[in-house]
Amino acid sequence: MGKRKGRELADMMERRKVDILCVQETRWKGSKARSIGAGFKLFYYGVDSKRNGVGVVLKEEFVRNVLEVGCELEEKERFWSELDEVMESIPTGERVVIGADFNGHVGEGNRGDEEKREEHRVTYKSGGRRTQIEMEKKTKWWKLKREECCEEFRQKLRQALGGQVVLPDDWETTAEVIRETGRKVLGVSSGRRKEDKETWWWNEEVQDSIQRKRLAKKKWDMDRTEENRQEYKELQHRVKREVSKAKQKAYDELYTRLDTREGEKDLYRLARQRDRDGKDVQQVRVIKDRDGRVLTSEESVQRRWKEYFEELMNEENEREKRVEGVNSVEQKVDKIRKDEVRKALKRMKSGKAVGPDDIPVEVWKCLGEAAVEFLASLFNRVLENLEKAYDRVPREELWYCMRKSGVAEKYVRVVQDMYERSRTVVRCAVGQTEEFKVEVGLHQGSALSPFLFAIVMDQLSEEVRQESPWTMMFADEIVICSESREQVEENLERWRFALERRGMEVSRSKTEYMCVNEREGSGTVRLQGEEVKKVQEFKYLGSTVQSNVECGKEVKKRVQPGWNGWRKVSGVLCDQKISARIKGKVYRTVLRAAMLCGLETVSLRKRQESELEVAELKMLRFSLGVTRLDRIRNEYIRGTAHVGRLGDKVRETRLRWFGHVQRRE
C-alpha cells in the first residue's frame, strides 16, 4: 500500500463501516504514524527497502486510546506480568482490545526457537473502546478580521438592540446579545477537528473514477474474460494517473500559496499539523488513582483530576499569625478613563483564546467607541460596588503586604473581590471537570498574579535581601551569593526563616549550591541540618551556569532545543516541493531563535561559535536534501536558504541587547 492507496483505503473503511484494519505490504520505511483522511490514522512499520511493511489503520475514536509498546528484551518478561495486573484492574464492564504480534517476545535474542523477519517485528496495543466525544462548537470569531463581516456584525447587533448605538448597561444582557449575534452572523464550527487537511485532492472526479474501477473489478471477478481483465487494467492505470494529477494540482496550489505573504500563517499551521499527524499518541486519556489503579472512564478521570488539583491548590502551609497591624492607605482613586480603555484595547493582541464569557477582544475592537464607553462604564461600576468589609479573608499575608507597600485601600479591596469565592476547572483530554474552590495562592494565568507575587516577596524578604549581585530574585527563583560557605549557610537559613514563618516554603529538593574556584576541603552547605545538594552547574532563568565559569554546557544545551524544534517542523523542512526561501524563513524564525535564545550575554569562543554553526549547517543540509558527499560549499547552502552566518547574528543580538541596556540607563 503506497501513498495513492491511503485515501482510497480510508474511503473504503468509511463506506463499509470498518473501524480497525490490519494491512500489509506497506511501502513506507521507518516506524511512524500518518493521517490518511476521513478521520483514519495508519500506524506502520517498514524497512529501508520500502517493501513488506505492516500496519494498523484505526478510526479516530480508537486513535485516542492507542498505546505503542516498545521495550528492551530484558523488560519483556516484566511486561507480560504487569499486563495481567493492568487487565485485572480494569472494570469488568469495560471492553478492551489488545492487538499485538504475540510471537515478538520469542524472537532474536530471547528464549524460543521461532525467528521473526525484521520487518514483521511490530507490536500494538489498543485500550478500551469508548464513544467519541464531540468537541465544543465555537463561534467563528476569526471572521471579524474581514471588514465586511465586521460591518455586518455591527449592523445585526444594532438591530438586536432595537436600533440603539449604545450597549446596555447590564453585562449579562450585553454579553448574551453579542454571543447570539456572533453565532447568527459568523456561524459556528462543526465541533470536530479537521484531520484530513492534506487530502484536499480527493475530489468528486477522483471518486467517480475509483467507483468505475471498483465496478470493473466486480465485473471481472464474476466473469474472468480477457476483455473484462483488460477493461479493469485500463481503468486501474487511468485512476492512478487521475489521482496523481489531482494530488499534484492540489499541492501545487498549496505550495504556491505558501510562497506568498498571505500564506505564511498557513505554513506554520501545516508544520504543526504534520507534526501532530506523525505522532503515535497525541493525548493520554487515562490516569491512575491514589492506589495506582488505571482509570479509564471519562467520569472517573475527570473526578481524579479535580481531586488532585483541589487538594494541591487549597493546601496552606503553617505560618505565624501577625500581631502587629498595618495602616491602610485611604486615598482617592481616579475613575478609569475612556482613553485608558482605548489604549488597552489597542495594545491587546488578536487571535487569543476566549475566556468563560466566550467573547474575544476582536469583538470590542470591532464595536469601536461603543465598546470603549461600555467597558469604561462597566469597570467603574465594579470599582464603586465593592463590599466594604470581609468576614473571613483567607489570604491575609497578601493583603498585609499590599497595605505595607502603600497600595491604596480601594485597590486592595478590588483584589479581595477578585479572589472572593473564586472557582476554577481543569480542562483535560476527556473533557472539563466540575468547578471547585481555590482558597490558597494566586490565580493561575492571571496577568496580575506576577505583580502581586512580587509585592509579597519584596515585603517578606525586606530584612534579609541584599543588593545585587549578592542576592538576585526573579519570581520564585532566588540566587544567594557569598564569599564563603559559612556565609552562604547563614544567609540561606535567614531566608528560610523569613519565608517559612509567613507560609512560604523553601523546596529542599530544588535547592542546590555551587562553588566557583573551589578549594580542597571546603565542606558542605546544610539547611536545618540537612545537606544541600552540590552541583557543578545549574540553570537559572534558562541559562546554564558552570562552576568553572565556562559556557560550553550552555552552548550544547542551546543546540538541543534547535534539534527539538527541527523535528517538529521537519514535515515542512524535509518537503522537497517547498522552496528553499520558505525553508530558510522557517529556520530563521523557529530554529535559530530557539538556538540563540539567551546567548546575548554569553561570551562565546571561536570553538563554541563553530559548534553552533556546525549544527546550523546540518539542519540546512537536511532541509535542502544535500549531504557533504555532494561537495557543495557552505556559502552556497546559506545563499540558497537566504540564511546569514550565525556568528554575525549573535553579534547583532548582542548589540541590540546593549542598546536596550543603554536606553534603560
253-262, 407-416, 464-473, 567-576: least confident range? 253-262
3-state secondary structure of 324: coil
C-alpha dihedral, 613 to 615 to 618 to 623, nearest 10°: -100
In this prediction, residues 557-573 reach a mean pLDDT of: 86
C-alpha cell belonging to residue 552: 560550553
Query: Percent of the chain at pLDDT above 90?
Result: 1
pLDDT recorded at residue 192:
57
Q: Where is pLDDT greater, at 617 or 107?
A: 617
CB 397 within 8 A of CB 419: no
Q: What is the mean pLDDT of the chain?
A: 79
Q: Where is pLDDT greater, at 385 or 635?
A: 635
Digit-coded pLDDT (tens) for 50-86: 677 888 888 877 776 666 555 566 666 677 777 777 7
pLDDT band at 429 (very low <50, low <70, confident <90, very high): confident
C-alpha cell belonging to residue 45: 512499520
In this prediction, residues 563-589 reach a mean pLDDT of: 86
pLDDT band at 393 (very low <50, low <70, confident <90, very high): very low
C-alpha cell belonging to residue 318: 503553617
pLDDT recorded at residue 123:
35
Cα atoms found within 13 Å of the Cα of residue 203, Cβ hemisphere only: 11
In this prediction, residues 583-593 reach a mean pLDDT of: 87
CB 511 within 8 A of CB 502: no
**CA 27, chain centre distance (Å):** 32
pLDDT band at 1 (very low <50, low <70, confident <90, very high): low
Q: Where is pLDDT greater, at 282 or 59?
A: 59
Helix H or strand E segment including 581: helix 580-586
Q: Is the pLDDT of residue 109 over 60?
A: no
pLDDT band at 410 (very low <50, low <70, confident <90, very high): confident
Does 450 sit behind a cis peptide bond, omega within 30 degrees of 0 on the bond before it? no
In this prediction, residues 458-466 reach a mean pLDDT of: 83
Q: Is the pLDDT of residue 390 over 50?
A: no
pLDDT recorded at residue 83:
74
Q: Roughly how many angstroms between the first and final C-alpha of the chain, as a whole number?
A: 66
pLDDT recorded at residue 67:
60
| Nearest-angstrom CA–CA distance, 608 and 635 | 20
C-alpha cell belonging to residue 277: 499527524
Which single residue is written with the C-alpha cell 495508519? Answer: 42
pLDDT recorded at residue 273:
77
pLDDT recorded at residue 73:
60
pLDDT recorded at residue 193:
55
Q: Is the pLDDT of residue 127 over 80?
A: no
DSSP H helical segments within 117-203, as ranges?
Answer: 147-160, 171-186
| Nearest-angstrom CA–CA distance, 55 and 24 | 6
In this prediction, residues 127-155 reach a mean pLDDT of: 70
| Nearest-angstrom CA–CA distance, 137 and 439 | 32
pLDDT band at 343 (very low <50, low <70, confident <90, very high): very high
C-alpha cell belonging to residue 263: 500564506
In this prediction, residues 31-40 reach a mean pLDDT of: 80
CB 641 within 8 A of CB 584: yes
| Nearest-angstrom CA–CA distance, 478 and 495 | 10
In this prediction, residues 106-129 reach a mean pLDDT of: 36
pLDDT recorded at residue 197:
45
Q: Is the pLDDT of residue 305 over 80?
A: yes
Helix H or strand E segment including 182: helix 171-186
Q: What is the DSSP string of 50-98?
A: S-SEEEEEEEHHHHTTEE-----HHHHHHHHHHHHHHHHHS-TT--B--
CB 643 within 8 A of CB 584: yes
Domain ranges of the chain: 3-126, 200-277, 461-535, 552-664
89-98, 497-506, 553-562: least confident range? 89-98
CB 404 within 8 A of CB 414: no
pLDDT recorded at residue 107:
34
pLDDT recorded at residue 35:
81
Q: Give the range with max mean pLDDT: 87-91, 354-358, 402-406, 544-548.
A: 402-406
pLDDT recorded at residue 36:
81
Give the Cα-Cα-Cα angle 162, 165, 170 (nearest 5 degrees).
Answer: 75
Q: Is the pLDDT of residue 518 over 80?
A: no
Digit-coded pLDDT (tens) for 142-174: 888 888 888 898 888 888 888 777 888 888 888
